[in-house]
Structure 1
């Protein structure tokens, strides 16, 4: 998958793609009946079966599954939200694992920079103005702490199954057990599991944004430069800090996605939300993909980052 409006989106691969969403929903239905079901072609959704007609993708998927498995009693006892929520949790678990891997790369790159340049002295700056001398190692320690904590918080996330039935009164541990998820009471209109995932992904992007902002400032002053950098369409002499710019872009937009999740959580009503639940899916998809991309770009940025001691001393 690629997106010209979000350079670097290809780094997220199949994370939260349409194909991954369909596969996750099929995995939930498979776990419920205890039989491995056939995953339909994504192209079938939107063709003969229109996701818009039922208001959620599971309603569009079920006729395809039932046609492929006419001998099975599929979905009995569940509601659409059980399947969609649990599928989203499965996708978020996968996305978080990818973000963690990139953050681990970023932390290792910071460690390497400390070993090679940690004793280099440069201006410490407060409110962007020169303050007192510090070492590169001191500044890098702040990056490392933020990236490491973000990875730890992602590792600490819990992944709950959703199994409440039509009005949230069902509780069946088999679904969670078969999918390796936590068995908890239905959370149809209690959306903290969603906002917690969103908050943690935003925090990971925040940590990456801190690195990017410092690199952009250091690049302006000549203390730092990106190993690869990017050119200009009109000024061939330029070596633009492209990765830092793209990571900062993510850091400037991720918090609003998290805020949308909280708005949806506050707008829940009775036993099933009328739009607030629906607003989560694309929001989480964007947030997860952007966190993966930002973490990957941050790791690449740090692995190629150059420190210029002469400029720092000057």
Structure 2
């Protein structure tokens, strides 16, 4: 089918295929899909014409015809993609088709399509528009995650659980404290993403960034276009790519913050730990071979995004080195990874808000893992008590030896200590105090209260 504004084929998105939603967010994917990008490019063309008419650069009648054609346009995105190969970007064929269709209505107006602009002006500005819409959704998802984490932290501020260091049992904490740690990462990522989005700006420089075609009207024209599109006004940034770097880094941080939560949920959902589980929705996380399994699939999908995003951030950072006044290849290298990062961040946010809203906290199991088989985590408290009677090295040695015996034999550390040199220094009351988790719970709960109080 030849490209035409009357094409009946729908504009497709790159994320609606077999694997596109793993993970994905329908709202974000709609905002960044091919249809949205073409629509944004056309909107920029129409807005440019309107602003140029308002400043006297082109006739108002030409701007009106361009706006009418843009409103009626339904270009075939697949045809546009194929046509883009010859020019290296989709703006060249899009401007050609738009000019053709404007000429069909008013030959004189066709001369004013894409007047004074270059392909990068249109595509960069369009990418800012779709990024803004996608980021708004992602910020909403992060706000939802933060609210859920605040609730979890408050509810479980004193829920005793195992603190783990370098993959090993360490010392008691509370689940509320863990939730507060997750919350800090999400809040920081949200703030950084919001700051990056505040720099989304119109790109308007012409072929080499001089704005020569618009003469003295250029400042007013740029301000008018920026205002109409809801973007910041800025000097041309054809080769100054800090906006893209800021956005990429912020999106990477978002995915990493959510991935931290996902990784913990996956680990704590293991059968032999059993402290957390995702909501047991019908069919969610099922296995094709093992009926008993309920995989933490939401967290697994978030973790998959976490593993993909660093390479995309790296690509965009590498592509930020632009040559001369318009880059050969570096600009082109940005388009796909930028949209993919938005897709992954959106999917991670949607999945994690679902995980947190249905997260099942097995508080009894958490406590049992501390007071039962996890009793060795009180070793540090016992060593501190022993240091009142012997030097630090001897105290550490006594408790380390007892911990090895407890772990290898399956006995509790308390029982082993009663048969060790520690019994000559510590009374039953001393051991009771050392194995009492109250101090650990109180310390963690204070941090939860302090953190949540400072946040509001």
- What range is the shorter-chain TM-score in? over 0.9
Residue 224 (1) aligns with residue 239 (2):
no
Instruction: Kindly indicate whether the alpha-carbon contact (under 8 Å) linking 1:45 and 1:60 is maintained by their aligned counterparts in 2.
Output: no
Residue 178 (1) aligns with residue 228 (2):
yes
Residue 201 (1) aligns with residue 242 (2):
no
Residue 26 (1) aligns with residue 42 (2):
yes
2:98 to 65, 69, 87: 65
RMSD of aligned C-alpha atoms? 1.7
Q: Which runs of 5+ in 1 are unaligned?
A: none
The answer for the alignment partner of 2:262 in structure 1 is 212
Between the aligned partners of 2:80 and 2:123, the Cα distance in structure 1 is 20
The answer for the alignment partner of 1:151 in structure 2 is 190
The answer for the alignment partner of 1:131 in structure 2 is 170
The answer for the alignment partner of 1:275 in structure 2 is 329
Relative to structure 2, which stretch is displaced further, 181-190 or 84-93?
Answer: 181-190
Matches within 5 A, 1:68-107: 68-70=101-103, 71=106, 72=109, 73-107=112-146
1:3 to 13, 17, 21: 17
Shift in Å, 1:54: 1.2
Scaled by the length of structure 1, the TM-score of the pair is 0.95
1:240 to 284, 292, 295: 295
Which one has the bigger helix percentage?
A: 2
Between the aligned partners of 2:257 and 2:194, the Cα distance in structure 1 is 16
Shift in Å, 1:68: 2.8
Residue 55 (1) aligns with residue 88 (2):
yes
Instruction: Kindly indicate whether the alpha-carbon contact (under 8 Å) linking 2:23 and 2:344 is maintained by their aligned counterparts in 1.
Output: no
* SS of residue paired to 1:133: strand
Shift in Å, 1:181: 1.2
The answer for the alignment partner of 2:390 in structure 1 is none
Between the aligned partners of 2:81 and 2:313, the Cα distance in structure 1 is 34
Between the aligned partners of 2:80 and 2:184, the Cα distance in structure 1 is 49
Instruction: Kindly indicate whether the alpha-carbon contact (under 8 Å) linking 1:38 and 1:65 is maintained by their aligned counterparts in 2.
Output: no
Residue 305 (1) aligns with residue 376 (2):
no
Q: Which runs of 5+ in 2 are unaligned?
A: 1-14, 51-62, 212-217, 369-456
Residue 295 (1) aligns with residue 349 (2):
yes
Between the aligned partners of 2:72 and 2:184, the Cα distance in structure 1 is 42
Scaled by the length of structure 2, the TM-score of the pair is 0.66
Higher relative contact order (CA 8 A, sep 6+): 1
Relative to structure 2, which stretch is displaced further, 80-89 or 185-194?
Answer: 185-194
Distance 1:312 1:94, change over 3 A: same
* SS of residue paired to 1:125: strand
What is the total number of aligned residue pairs between the two structures?
A: 313
Between the aligned partners of 2:116 and 2:80, the Cα distance in structure 1 is 27
Distance 1:232 1:15, change over 3 A: same
Instruction: Kindly indicate whether the alpha-carbon contact (under 8 Å) linking 2:81 and 2:90 is maintained by their aligned counterparts in 1.
Output: no
* SS of residue paired to 1:14: helix
